[in-house]
């Protein structure tokens, strides 16, 4: 498909300054909301609860301003996934990069440096991204590299704070990784709704990051 070819040939962000100028003109509503599926951290058998996510009143223009802390990292989102889920991940990346905020996504197939060690690339992807989406599927649970990257993300931000975003698909709650049980997850039943939830969660984190930076400066 044409969108897939465009996705694979999309160049890596090579200049923060060029990204700043291209993003500064984007705009979006000043406040956004979504629902996110949650699980109990105390028991894998507890039913999901739904809660509303209210985003901070900071516009996309503020997030994309030239002095925004968003530009301190090369990517907004790193998608951790198994090879068998590549088609779904490509759709998610295309959705996020097509938003008004033009989220910068790390897609291993496209953005990993040829010849680099896998361990190095996985660690760099985590350290160079603000948020990490863990697409937890049966393939993810069986892939040692996925678990390695998950542990790297947890080591980078053990208290979560919105940076680690687990997304369950075709996995029972009882199989939810124990390492993530203190973090609420998104359950992917309807793909379009889950994509919006992921987008809103990333947006909320960037807004809070921007607000925290502004408060420190004051």
Domains identified in the chain and CATH numbers: 69-217 (3.40.50.10140)
How does pLDDT run across 159-211, given as a tens digit for each residue? 878 899 999 999 999 999 999 999 999 999 999 999 999 999 999 999 999 99
For the record, the structure tokens of 198 come out as 């992921």
Counting every residue written for the chain, the total comes to: 218
For the record, the structure tokens of 11 come out as 């160049």
Alpha carbon of 153 to those of 5, 59, 75, 114, 133: distances in Å?
29, 27, 14, 22, 10
Backbone torsions φ then ψ of 38, nearest 5 degrees: -130, 155
Strand order from edge to edge, sheet including 105-106? 105-106, 75-80, 129-136, 164-168, 186-187
> What 3-state class would DSSP assign to 210?
helix
Quick one: what percent of the chain has pLDDT higher than 90?
Answer: 59
pLDDT of residue 37: 37
pLDDT of residue 80: 96
pLDDT of residue 8: 54
Backbone torsions φ then ψ of 77, nearest 5 degrees: -135, 135
Backbone torsions φ then ψ of 61, nearest 5 degrees: -65, -40
CB atoms within 10 A of CB 47: 9
Please list the ranges in the chain whose pLDDT falls under 70: 1-61, 218
pLDDT of residue 42: 35
pLDDT of residue 62: 77
Mean pLDDT of the chain: 79
């Amino acid at each position: 498909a044409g969108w897939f070819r465009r996705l694979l040939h999309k160049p890596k962000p090579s200049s923060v300054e060029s990204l700043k100028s291209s993003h500064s003109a984007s705009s979006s509503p000043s406040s956004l909301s979504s629902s996110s599926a949650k699980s109990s951290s105390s028991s894998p058998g507890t039913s999901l609860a739904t809660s509303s996510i209210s985003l901070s009143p900071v516009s996309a223009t503020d997030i994309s301003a030239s002095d925004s802390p968003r530009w301190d990292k090369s990517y907004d989102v790193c998608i951790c996934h198994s090879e068998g889920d590549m088609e779904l991940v490509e759709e998610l990346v295309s959705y996020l990069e097509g938003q008004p905020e033009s989220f910068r996504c790390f897609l291993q197939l496209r953005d990993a440096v040829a010849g680099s060690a896998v361990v190095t690339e996985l660690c760099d992807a985590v350290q160079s991204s603000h948020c990490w989406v863990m697409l937890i599927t049966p393939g993810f649970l069986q892939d040692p590299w996925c678990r390695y990257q998950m542990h790297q993300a947890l080591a980078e931000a053990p208290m979560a704070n919105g940076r680690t975003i687990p997304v369950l698909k075709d996995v029972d709650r009882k199989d939810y990784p124990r390492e993530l049980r203190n973090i609420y997850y998104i359950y992917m039943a309807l793909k379009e709704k889950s994509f919006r939830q992921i987008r809103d969660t990333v947006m909320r984190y960037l807004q809070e990051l921007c607000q925290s930076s502004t408060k420190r400066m004051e």
